[in-house]
Amino acid sequence: MAFLKSCIYVLAIGIASHFVGEALPRRWFCWDAFPYRAWKWEKEGKIYDRLRIRAWKDHLPDMSRVMKDMIPKRVGTCPTSERIYILIRETCVAECIHALLCICSIVIYFFWRNGIGIFLAVLSVLCNLPFILIQRYNRPALVALAERLERREERKRNACTSSVS
């Protein structure tokens, strides 16, 4: 019975997390402030190359492919700095939600106060951890892309302005 309660709990918090994530105001999330900014030890996301994230990140489920109310997590063929900044904020939201799911996973132990409860809680945390790592890996590259696009867009605006004069 405790196993069934644990499964129902994990399913319920997983479903609820989608709605919470979609409801959170994006203005709350700033990629260049704690806790989302890249730490020095992350070396702008390069530390994650040791985990070979690039090789496996696209093989994990992406809820934006299933839930049509979510912003697709793809750069696209004609990205704009505005679109990339939206994606960057989405990485912050995803990181936050998966971190909250890790914290909520600890509750599983209270269904089974033994080794099985610990195992299921740790398993749930370990299932969310890769998604946090992916966000932290992708964010510095997205920020760099957004800044490059912003500079390009500025040059285009200046070129159009100077040709009109």
If you write DSSP's letter for every residue of 56-123 in order, what string do you get?
Answer: HGGGS--HHHH-TTSPP----SS--HHHHHHHHHHHHHHHHHHHHHHHHHTTHHHHS-SHHHHHHHHH
**With 80 as the cut, is the pLDDT of residue 42 above it?**
yes
| Cα–Cα dist 63/134, whole Å | 14
Q: Report residue 156's pLDDT band, with 50, 70 and 90 as the boundaries.
A: confident
**With 80 as the cut, is the pLDDT of residue 112 above it?**
no
**With 70 as the cut, is the pLDDT of residue 106 above it?**
yes
CB atoms within 10 A of CB 162: 8
Average pLDDT score over residue span 62-90: 80
Q: Report residue 68's pLDDT band, with 50, 70 and 90 as the boundaries.
A: low
**With 70 as the cut, is the pLDDT of residue 163 above it?**
no
Full-model pTM:
0.83
Average pLDDT score over residue span 36-64: 85
Average pLDDT score over residue span 120-147: 92
CA dihedral 103, 105, 107, 111 (to 10 degrees): -170
Q: CA-based angle 61:67:87, to the nearest 5?
A: 75
Total structural domains in the chain? 1
Average pLDDT score over residue span 39-68: 82
Which domain range does residue 116 map to? 2-164
